Structure 1
Amino acid sequence: MRSVVLTKGVPDFSEGAVSFNEEGHLERGKTPTVMNPNDEFALQAALQTRVRHGGHVSVMSMGPPGYKEILGEAMESVYADDLYLLSDRACAAADTWATAITLSAGLETYQEEVGDIDLVFAGFKTADGETGHTGPQTAWAMDWPMVTHALALDIEPDEDRLRAKRLVEGDVDEIETVESRLPSFVVADPEFEPSYRKAAHRLEHKRLRRETRARAEEYEDHVTVWDHQALNLDPDSIGLDGSPTIVSSVDPIPKAPSEREATMVDPADEDGMTTVVEELQPFAAGGE
Structure 2
Amino acid sequence: MRSIVLTKGVPDFSDGAVSFNEEGHLERGKTPTVMNPNDAFALEAALQTRVRHGGHVSGMSMGPPGYAEVLEGAMESVYTDDSYLLSDRELAASDTWATAITLSAGIETYQEEVGDVDLLFAGFKTADGETGQTGPQTAWALDWPIVTHVIALDIDPDERLLRAKRLVEGDVDEIETVEAPLPCMVVTDPEFEPTYRKASHRLTHKRLRKETQNRAAAHDRHLTTWDHEDLNLDPDYIGLDGSPTIVSSVDPIPKAPSEREATMVDPSDSEGMNEVLGEFQPYAATTNGADGPNAAEGGD
The equivalent residue for 2:210 is 210
CA distance in 2 between partners of 1:171 and 1:70 (Å): 30
CA distance in 2 between partners of 1:159 and 1:165 (Å): 18
Q: What secondary structure does 1:159 align onto?
A: coil
CA distance in 2 between partners of 1:170 and 1:5 (Å): 21
CA distance in 1 between partners of 2:36 and 2:171 (Å): 29
Amino acid in the other structure paired with 1:255:
K
CA distance in 1 between partners of 2:178 and 2:194 (Å): 18
The equivalent residue for 2:135 is 135
Given that 1:165 and 1:177 are in contact with CA atoms closer than 8 Å, whether structure 2 keeps it comes out as yes
CA distance in 2 between partners of 1:282 and 1:45 (Å): 54
CA distance in 2 between partners of 1:105 and 1:164 (Å): 27
The equivalent residue for 1:39 is 39
Q: Is the counterpart of residue 83 in structure 1 residue 96 in structure 2?
A: no
Map 1:37-116 onto structure 2 (within 5 A): 37-116=37-116
Structure 1 residue runs of 5 or longer lacking an equivalent are 264-274
Deviation at 1:78, TM superposition (A): 1.8
CA distance in 2 between partners of 1:171 and 1:75 (Å): 31
Amino acid in the other structure paired with 1:19:
A
Amino acid in the other structure paired with 1:164:
A
Deviation at 1:125, TM superposition (A): 0.6
Q: 1:211 to 1:56 in 2, by over 3 A?
A: same
Given that 1:104 and 1:138 are in contact with CA atoms closer than 8 Å, whether structure 2 keeps it comes out as yes
Aligned length: 268
Q: Is the counterpart of residue 262 in structure 1 residue 261 in structure 2?
A: yes
CA distance in 1 between partners of 2:172 and 2:4 (Å): 33
**CA shift digits 1:233-255 (9 cap, x unpaired):** 00110000000001122223132
Deviation at 1:228, TM superposition (A): 0.5
The equivalent residue for 1:19 is 17
Percent sequence identity over aligned pairs: 76
TM-score calculated relative to the size of structure 2: 0.84
**CA shift digits 1:213-247 (9 cap, x unpaired):** 11000111100000001000001100000000011
CA distance in 1 between partners of 2:186 and 2:139 (Å): 9
Amino acid in the other structure paired with 1:230:
D
Greater radius of gyration (CA): 2
TM-score calculated relative to the size of structure 1: 0.87
Given that 2:85 and 2:226 are in contact with CA atoms closer than 8 Å, whether structure 1 keeps it comes out as yes
